[in-house]
Structure 1
């Protein structure tokens, strides 16, 4: 996605893989939308900075509400990601939304 001292793609995917079920479909979908928007070369630098900030908060081992707490653990992460999505909304394209939705479907709909 980009070079950043505090954020790495590996950290992002480790967090997703470790906490996807606990975080839930909505949280992971928002995280993926942000991730794919930051990877898009058409997303401007200022928007990528907003996105990286939200994703850094998401992958941080310590935050306002510990992620291990069932149900409530990801409410703060979700709030940060929603604020970032509102801020960069013009750069969340239909293609990005579709890509995130496909990945979510692949992960969450295979459990039936």
Structure 2
């Protein structure tokens, strides 16, 4: 696992805080991975989540927020495929830290019905 410098982690956190919800809520109906993004957000800002996990999630979320990445977001049909890939890879590495509570908060924030047990 790679490590990020504290300044990079702080920059990613600011980027996510400033732009995450605006971008996600503007696209939520169009993104099949909106719930996972929101759950990753809640896990990343959960102080009970280990620091290394938080840093990885912040990097993935910052990648989503930033408009210029490997495949620019404005390209119809392709723009969010790289964002989805980055998120999927990150969740594969740290997904066990994303709890049912994080998913419940994500569903509530997105206006989705709670999942039945």
3-state SS in 2 of match to 1:67: coil
CA drift of 1:14 comes to: 2.2
* 1:79 to 1:72, Cα distance in 2 relative to 1, 3 A: same
**Cα RMSD after superposing both structures:** 2.1
Greater percentage in helix? 1
Q: Distance in 2 between matches of 1:96 and 1:50?
A: 16
- Name the count of aligned residue pairs: 103
2:85 corresponds to which residue?
79
Given the alignment of the two structures, is residue 44 of structure 1 paired with residue 50 of structure 2, yes or no?
yes
- 2:106 pairs with 82, 97, 100, which one? 100
3-state SS in 1 of match to 2:52: helix
2:22 corresponds to which residue?
14
**TM-score (norm: length of structure 2):** 0.76
Q: Which runs of 5+ in 2 are unaligned?
A: 1-8, 113-117
Given the alignment of the two structures, is residue 33 of structure 1 paired with residue 53 of structure 2, yes or no?
no
* 1:101 to 1:18, Cα distance in 2 relative to 1, 3 A: closer
* Contact persistence 2:16–2:58 (CA under 8 A): no
